[in-house]
Chain A
Amino acid sequence: AQSVAQPEDQVNVAEGNPLTVKCTYSVSGNPYLFWYVQYPNRGLQFLLKYITGDNLVKGSYGFEAEFNKSQTSFHLKKPSALVSDSALYFCAVRDHQAGGADGLTFGKGTHLIIQP
């Protein structure tokens, strides 16, 4: 079975400071990992993904994430936070060895609040 954990319900960061949103995962085989962002009353939007290759993945809006296999983590980062980054962030995982065509498993989400 595949699972993902986002240990923080909320992360508060001052504008201009670096931000990190944490994600850890559990899969039987190798993971496909994703980050999505949700703004109020909107659908989720794709930010970035790790499939294979370079452990540091760069995505939309200046976000990046680092795949760490030994720690089974895929933390989302940004060097300098903007107030407009305030949103709900979801980490998601899929085991690439999953036999069925099952979908992504999402974490419960982390509210990111950037304070001016």
Chain B
Amino acid sequence: NAGVTQTPKFQVLKTGQSMTLQCAQDMNHEYMSWYRQDPGMGLRLIHYSVGAGITDQGEVPNGYNVSRSTTEDFPLRLLSAAPSQTSVYFCASSFRQAVGELFFGEGSRLTVL
């Protein structure tokens, strides 16, 4: 019963490098999203998707790209990492976007030097 799986759990990057955070869910959820968590700021929505082939921006999308080629996978790409992107990233999915509860992954801790 995997739920939402994120990889990697930890990553250190140098400024300017690119990388992809992977997210997969096995619950056949249509809605998937990426949040970042920073101390004292709660969670902020980066990008979300309401189904395969459909993505949209959240509150803080700059510097990130997403794609949704399948229902199961929703990778988050950092194009050119900056120290301001040092954060803990969470992927979450939901059966019903409006009223359904979110199921979260365990998080990916990213440090950009």
Q: Please give the distance in Å from B19's CB to the nearest CB on chain A.
A: 20
CB neighbours of B90 from chain A (8 A) = 43-44
**Least CB distance, B54 to chain A, in whole angstroms:** 9
* Bound complex: CA A48 to CA B106 (Å): 19
Q: A44-B90, A107-B42 are in contact. Are A101 and B104 (CB under 8 A)?
A: no
Question: In the complex, what residue of chain B is closest to A104 when comparing beta carbons?
Answer: B102
* Chain B positions 75 through 113: 1 when the CB is less than 8 Å from some CB of chain A, otherwise 0: 000000000000000101000011101111111000000
Decide: A101 and B56 in contact? CB cutoff 8 A.
yes
Known: A32-B99, A51-B99, A101-B56. A43 touches B105 (CB 8 A): yes
- Which of B33, B43, B92, B99 neighbours the largest number of chain A CB atoms within 10 Å of its CB? B43
Interface range on chain B (Cβ under 8 Å from partner): 20 to 34
A46-B102 in contact (CB<8A): yes
Q: Check A103 against B98 for contact (C-beta < 8 Å).
A: no
> Cβ of A78 < 8 Å from any Cβ of B?
no
Cβ B101 vs Cβ A46 within 8 A: yes
Q: Is A45 among interface residues, defined by CB-CB distance under 8 A?
A: yes
- Could you name 13 residue pairs across A and B whose Cβ atoms are closer than 8 Å? A34-B102, A36-B104, A43-B107, A44-B90, A44-B92, A44-B102, A44-B104, A46-B101, A90-B42, A101-B48, A103-B58, A104-B102, A107-B42
B residues contacting A by CB (< 8 A) are 4, 31, 33, 35, 40-45, 48, 50, 56, 58, 90, 92, 97-99, 101-107
Closest 9 pairs between A and B when the two form their complex, measured CB to CB: A43-B104, A46-B101, A108-B42, A106-B43, A106-B42, A103-B45, A44-B104, A101-B50, A43-B106
